[in-house]
Amino acid sequence: MLFEKDYFLTGKINEECGVFGVFNVKDAASLTYFGLHALQHRGQEASGIATSNKKEIKCIKGRGLLTETFNNRVIKELKGVHAVGHVRYSTAGGNEIENIQPIMVRSHKGDFAVSHNGNIVNAKELREEMENNGSIFQGTSDSEIIGHLIQREQGDFVEKIRKAVLHLEGAFAFVVMRENEMYAVRDHNGLRPLSVAKVDNGYVVSSESCAFDIVNGREEFDVLPGELLKIDYNGIQHIQYAEKTQLKMCAMEYIYFSRPDSSIDGINVHTARKLSGRMLAKIDKEAGDVEADIVVGVPDSSLSAAMGYAEESGLPYELGLIKNRYVGRTFIQPTQAQRERGVRMKLSAVRDIVKGKRIILVDDSIVRGTTSKRIVQLLKDAGATEVHVRIGSPAITHPCFYGVDTSSRKELISARKNNEEVRDFIIADSLKFLEVDKMMEAFETENLCVACFNGVYPTDLFNLGVQLKEEIENER
Ligand code: SF4
């Protein structure tokens, strides 16, 4: 059955994956299920859990939401005190069953399971080189490349992983489980988040710290850029595998992807969003060019920023838009009218609140512009007299190659139109984005990847860079 990626309907960008690992905790599969449930927003196309009973690894995975593959009966089949799990949104590799993670690598030297989040930018080059040397791939995902690289290296397992990751360029945060060991690795730019917490006498590893609460995780910390953790019965060994490291956390994790109750590299996501809203309000106050009655956020990821805007501006924060939480995944919708209905199924304007009002509408980002336009239309149809759109991030002008599904500039309205043209397209009365420097000032950090806003990528892009250059040249 074909499912439409949310992107086409909502105009929002999607992240690729969430990973979760459990080491030495009773009922590891159940814990992983709960952890993945908290990470479901990071991927709804497929999920999987592999467990180790200390002697062998068993893996079950399937398409769709976690609840479509796992129930009590299935979880009971996954015995063991160690587990690794994954929720998937596919951008690298399709949604074929072979690409669903954890990826299992079985060999006479011992089996292991890999769960990975992010995109490897030199995947094509690595795959070609390995295929020329006899490697056979089952699927098309980057994660399988990681498995192959680890398997072909020599030395003890730490050494194998250390040598393998030195071949990788791009964004990766992954967990590897062997029968009695677990490893957690983050790329040398720290582009994707990965955190660890203690649970009883064991440990849990997660893409986001929001998953620790439900499993009673404590003493949590982030895996550092360029760090490899070995987790076994002796505790945690920290190994710095990369000499040159920097923190360039994906800014979109704070702006849009992560849950507000997660903290990434010491910054709480809700707080960061509120600060971005406050900054937007400060900019408006200084410019003195807009008058409004209420502040409305686009649910859910923009509500924190809207609260921040309201606090700073002194305007009332109102629930002008309501999200229908039971829409679920959306089928391919071929006509404009059906797409229109799709947005109205997901969002409704609260007529009594917005009628006759001048609204500051706070959203997190604009990708194609079509969703923003529909939301502005929704508010105006409900009687809003003015809609001033304020975006809690800079204009997206470049594609992301690090695990977010904006692979072409063609999809990005701000790559083709200036601010006034975008404003006109989304039928807003005014439009402002948060510039890169103001966003960093608001978040109080410069340790961010902002490549999709300014085209300065923190890694080499290999073949993808050549394609991007060609695309930009063809636009001229
Ligand atoms: S390019 Fe944008 S979406 Fe991609 S990692 Fe960097 S900040 Fe995140």
Identify the three-state secondary structure at position 202: strand
Using CB atoms within 10 Å of the CB of residue 79, give its burial: 0 to 12 exposed, 13 to 18 middle, 19+ buried.
Answer: middle
17 is catalytic: yes
Is the pLDDT at 476 greater than 80? The verdict is no
Ligand 1 centroid–CA 127 distance in Å is 24
Q: State percent of the chain over pLDDT 90.
A: 83
Ligand 1 centroid–CA 192 distance in Å is 9
List the alpha helices (DSSP H) in 39-141. Answer: 66-69, 72-77, 123-132
Q: Is the C-beta atom of 452 inside 6 A of ligand 1?
A: yes
Same fold? 15-247, 270-446+456-475: no
Which residue out of 17, 46, 367, 404 is catalytically annotated?
Answer: 17
Phi, psi (deg, nearest 5) at residue 348: -130, 145
Task: Round to the nearest angstrom and report the end-to-end CA distance of the chain.
Answer: 39
Ligand 1, residues 187, 404, 454: which to mutate, most atoms within 8 A of Cβ?
404
| pLDDT average, residue stretch 291-319 | 97
CATH code for the part of the protein at 270-446+456-475: 3.40.50.2020
Q: What is the number of H-type helices and E-type strands within the chain? A: 19, 26
Residue nearest to atom 5 of ligand 1 (CA): 250
Is the pLDDT at 314 greater than 70? The verdict is yes
Measure the CA–CA gap between 92 and 71, rounded to whole angstroms: 28
pLDDT top residue among 392 and 476: 392
Closest CA to 347 of 369, 377, 317, 390: 377
Binding residues for [4Fe-4S] cluster: 250, 400, 449, 452
Identify the pLDDT of residue 2. 28
Q: State percent of the chain over pLDDT 70.
A: 92
Contacts of 271 (CB under 8 A, 6+ apart): 304
Q: Which helix (H) or strand (E) holds 387?
A: strand 386-391
Ligand 1 centroid–CA 351 distance in Å is 36
Residue nearest to atom 8 of ligand 1 (CA): 250
Q: Strand pairing partners for 432?
A: 390
Two tokens at 330? 């959306």
Ligand 1, residues 256, 452, 454, 456: which to mutate, most atoms within 8 A of Cβ?
452
Compute the mean pLDDT over every residue in the chain, rounded to the nearest whole number: 92
- What confidence tier does 4 reach under pLDDT thresholds 50, 70, 90? very low
Q: Where are the domains of the chain?
A: 15-247, 270-446+456-475
Per-residue pLDDT tens over the stretch 215-272: 999 999 999 999 999 999 999 999 999 999 999 999 999 999 999 999 999 999 999 9
Identify the three-state secondary structure at position 395: coil
Does domain 15-247 correspond to CATH entry 3.20.80.10? Answer: no
Identify the pLDDT of residue 372. 95
Identify the pLDDT of residue 8. 37
| pLDDT average, residue stretch 149-159 | 96
Half-sphere exposure (Cβ direction) of 185: Cα atoms closer than 13 Å: 31
Per-residue pLDDT tens over the stretch 166-218: 999 999 999 999 999 999 999 999 999 999 999 999 999 999 999 999 999 99
